[in-house]
Amino acid sequence: KRSLDALFNSPAAMSRVDARSFGHSYQEISANDPIAATKQWIDHQSVDSGNTALKYAYSVSDRWTVSNATIAEEAYADIWNEISKLYDYGFQLEKTTTSRCGGGEDVAENAIVSTMFVTKAYSTYSASEFKRFAITVNAALKQLTGGKIFLEPFHPEYVGKAGAKHENRRSPFPTIQICYHFGARSRSSRG
């Protein structure tokens, strides 16, 4: 009986509302407003000073996207659209910041701007599928940008390496933070 209780009371076996609650009130707003639920989760997680999973949360501002994708192809189209927008935004911001400094010193060195990409229906019950999705996008980004743009994935059922704090990456919805790193040089711009 205990082994069955452990199996059926695991995070993967919980209902949609229960899996997103984590003992908090996310379920009250999650069905209607995934951005509000995710912001609430970030605020709660950021209180924990030992949480390195959200180390770039300060860089989000108002750049949020909710994808209605239900299959991988739709999710790929949506995330690449957001990556393109963030690249354009970051490139212009970096260019403007550098030109204000006279081109000499780079005040944007090691700064990060980002977008939160939240999926309501894609891969909500499969952390491993969502992780594979993020890995394939991140691999392409490494090749295309040399690390200038990278991803930080979060999922309601996230399970990382042994000994890691899994709950730090357990968001109310499958979420990817798309980060643009100022000052990082892409391979194509290196001599």
Per-residue tens of pLDDT for the chain, all 191 residues:
555 555 555 444 443 444 444 444 444 444 568 998 988 888 887 655 566 777 777 777 778 999 999 999 999 999 999 999 999 998 888 888 766 555 444 444 568 889 999 999 999 999 999 999 999 999 999 999 988 999 999 999 888 776 666 777 889 999 999 999 886 655 444 43
Amino acid at site 70: T
pTM (2 d.p.): 0.74
Sequence-ordered list of residues with C-beta below 8 angstroms from that of 191, at least 6 positions apart, any chain? none
Helical packing angle, 72-100 and 127-145, nearest 10°: 40
